[in-house]
């Protein structure tokens, strides 16, 4: 059975290792030795060199002892949004918070710790199972870069579970959005803001004109768009010569997403023409949506496992991305498992002791149920 004290100690230890995206080396090294000490087969890939980080993805295998059972995986990611350096963990009424000027980092240490504990218990029990893998990625928070660098074909995985979303425990994300990134670089014309302002073209005004005409925020029930970063200008006494705007849009419906992107591009081109400016536009499809059918084995196993533990196995849709987007794009069925972490990416992030234990119980039951499927 799940060992609560062991699980909590592991969770805290993982949280206390600072691991921003592309700088996860210390967390990877510690976890690698921990998994080796558990008697698992452990190895790294070469993702760090591919994505410009100091760490690789980490893999571990518990060899199967039941011939013909499916090869399954549990996955989570090392990196956290910043800041986590100097974290002090506080437990109040059975809930873990950051008591320092940092985030807690439960996203995604609340996925890693239960996954490791589940595999450990399965190994200790000796009960039947197929090959079980742990896939721990780097640089998830900055674009699923670690997972995208994984080479998984030789593992012949049948399906798996990504422990990386919020409550309630026992629910699963089976449907997500396609996510596009778009960057606008507006070129105006510099001039002295006091002496000759009429001789300049202010790139900020061009961008403002475009943005004022663009639908953003909640576009539809499952379509959103956002302008997130703006950079430009050289001084208050200079008519702004250029400005860079970074934006995104996402939707579960690709035609709606394409329509939104076309709308954004059209309005920037129109504003540039009106002001006599120019604009460079870079558009990238960041990752593709997935929808895993409810009748598929990966979902059926999940719902049976959740029900056996007394949870309500609701299937959810989210506009957020995870490594499951990458795995499904590779042809490996994967869904996201709720861990109980809440208010992620904020200083108010928290997770309860109970949800950590329940998450580990569910991860273990997923492996048990998979072995019988």
Q: How do the pLDDT tens digits run along the chain, 373 residues long?
A: 999 999 999 999 999 999 999 999 999 999 999 999 999 999 999 999 999 999 999 999 999 999 999 999 999 999 999 988 999 999 999 999 999 999 999 999 999 999 999 999 999 999 999 999 999 999 999 989 999 999 999 999 999 999 999 999 999 999 999 999 999 999 999 999 999 999 999 999 999 999 999 999 999 999 999 999 999 999 999 999 999 999 999 999 999 999 999 999 999 999 999 999 999 999 999 889 999 999 999 999 999 999 999 999 999 999 888 999 999 999 999 999 999 999 998 999 999 999 999 999 999 999 999 999 8
pLDDT at 110: 97
pLDDT at 252: 93
Q: And the tokens for 108?
A: 């995604």
pLDDT at 83: 87
pLDDT at 75: 98
CA nearest 238: which of 271, 192, 197, 203? Answer: 192
The answer to whether the bond into 83 is cis (omega within 30° of 0) is yes
Give yes or no for a contact between 334 and 159, defined as CB atoms under 8 angstroms apart.
yes
Give yes or no for a contact between 73 and 158, defined as CB atoms under 8 angstroms apart.
no
210 sits in which H/E element: helix 203-213
pLDDT at 160: 98
Query: What one-character DSSP code corresponds to residue 294?
Result: T
Residue 358 annotated as catalytic: no
CA nearest 176: which of 72, 284, 327, 282? Answer: 327
Tell me the CA end-to-end span of the chain in Å, nearest whole number. Answer: 21
d(CA 293, CA 347): 36
pLDDT at 143: 87
Cα 182 from chain centre? 19
pLDDT at 286: 87
**The one catalytic residue among 140, 222, 248, 267:** 140
d(CA 351, CA 293): 30
**The one catalytic residue among 24, 79, 131, 349:** 79
pLDDT at 132: 98
d(CA 107, CA 177): 20
Residues 6+ apart with CB under 8 A from 372: none
Residue 140 annotated as catalytic: yes
d(CA 240, CA 257): 31
> What burial class does residue 4 get, using C-beta atoms within 10 Å of its C-beta: 0-12 exposed, 13-18 middle, 19+ buried?
middle
Phi-psi region of 10 (alpha: psi -120 to 50; beta: other; left: phi over 0): alpha
Residues 6+ apart with CB under 8 A from 29: none
What is the CATH T-level fold of the domain 4-176+289-371, as seen in this structure?
Aminopeptidase (3.40.630)
| DSSP strand pairing (132-137 vs 89-92) | unpaired
Q: And the tokens for 244?
A: 């860079």
pLDDT at 260: 97
Q: What pTM value is reported for the model? A: 0.90
Give yes or no for a contact between 354 and 342, defined as CB atoms under 8 angstroms apart.
no
d(CA 373, CA 358): 22
| CATH for 178-287 (3.30.70.360, 3.40.80.10, 3.90.79.10, 3.10.20.80) | 3.30.70.360
Q: And the tokens for 297?
A: 């084995």
Domain limits, the chain:
4-176+289-371, 178-287
d(CA 356, CA 360): 6
Q: Which value, in Å, is the radius of gyration of the alpha carbons in the chain?
A: 23
């Amino acid at each position: 059975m799940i060992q609560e004290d062991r699980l909590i100690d592991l969770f805290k230890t993982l949280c206390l290792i600072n691991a921003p995206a592309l700088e996860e080396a210390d967390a990877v090294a510690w976890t690698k030795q921990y998994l080796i000490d558990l008697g698992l087969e452990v190895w790294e890939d070469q993702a760090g060199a591919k994505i410009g980080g100091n760490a690789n993805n980490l893999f571990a295998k518990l060899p199967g002892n039941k011939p013909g059972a499916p090869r399954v995986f549990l996955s989570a990611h090392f990196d956290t949004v910043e800041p986590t350096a100097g974290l002090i963990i506080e437990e109040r009424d059975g809930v873990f918070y950051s008591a320092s000027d940092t985030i807690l980092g439960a996203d995604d240490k609340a996925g890693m710790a239960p996954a490791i504990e589940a595999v450990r218990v399965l190994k200790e029990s000796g009960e039947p199972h197929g090959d079980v893998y742990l896939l721990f990625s780097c640089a998830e928070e900055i674009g699923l870069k670690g997972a995208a660098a994984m080479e998984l074909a030789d593992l012949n995985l049948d399906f798996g579970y990504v422990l990386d979303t919020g409550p309630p425990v026992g629910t699963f994300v089976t449907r997500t959005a396609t996510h596009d990134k778009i960057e606008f670089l507006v070129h105006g014309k510099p001039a002295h803001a006091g002496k000759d302002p009429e001789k300049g073209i202010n790139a900020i005004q061009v961008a403002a004109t475009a943005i004022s005409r663009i639908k953003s925020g909640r576009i539809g029930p499952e379509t959103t768009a956002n302008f997130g970063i703006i950079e430009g200008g050289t001084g208050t006494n200079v008519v702004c010569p250029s400005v860079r705007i970074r934006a995104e849009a996402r939707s579960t419906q690709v035609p709606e997403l394409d329509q939104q992107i076309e709308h954004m591009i059209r309005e920037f081109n129109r504003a540039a023409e009106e002001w006599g400016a120019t604009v460079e536009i870079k558009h990238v499809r960041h990752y593709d949506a997935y929808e895993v059918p409810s009748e598929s084995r990966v979902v059926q196993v999940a719902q049976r496992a959740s029900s056996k533990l007394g949870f309500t196995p609701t299937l959810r849709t989210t506009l957020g991305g995870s490594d499951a987007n990458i795995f499904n794009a590779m042809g490996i069925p994967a869904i996201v498992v709720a861990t109980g972490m809440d208010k992620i990416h904020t200083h108010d992030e928290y997770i309860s002791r109970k949800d950590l234990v329940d998450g580990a119980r569910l991860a273990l039951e997923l492996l048990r149920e998979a072995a019988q499927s």
